[in-house]
Amino acid sequence: MRVDIEGATVGYLNREHAKQYRQQLLQAGQAGITATCPALIVGGWDRGRGNTGHFGVKLDIPMND
């Protein structure tokens, strides 16, 4: 499952989480949908002139354990 922010791909769910979330969507009768969720961009920096650090994204999606 791909993670996009403002039309740009920024990453993917890891295989285990993608499988688990896909199963939850299937059980809810929502297979094949395009889902959205709140997210928080964390870390990183942009000091200009190409001086940037890595950013992370925390997704607020329900995951049944």
As a three-state string, the secondary structure of the chain is CEEEECCEEEEECCHHHHHHHHHHHHHCCCCCCCCCCCEEEEECCECCCCCECCEEEEECCCCCC
In the block, which residue shows the tokens 């993670």? 3
Are the C-beta atoms of residues 33 and 27 closer than 8 Å to each other? no
pLDDT of 4: 94
Residue 39 CA, distance from chain mean position: 7
Give the pLDDT confidence of 26-56 residue by residue, as tens digits. Answer: 999 998 899 899 999 999 988 999 898 999 9
Mean pLDDT (the chain) is 91
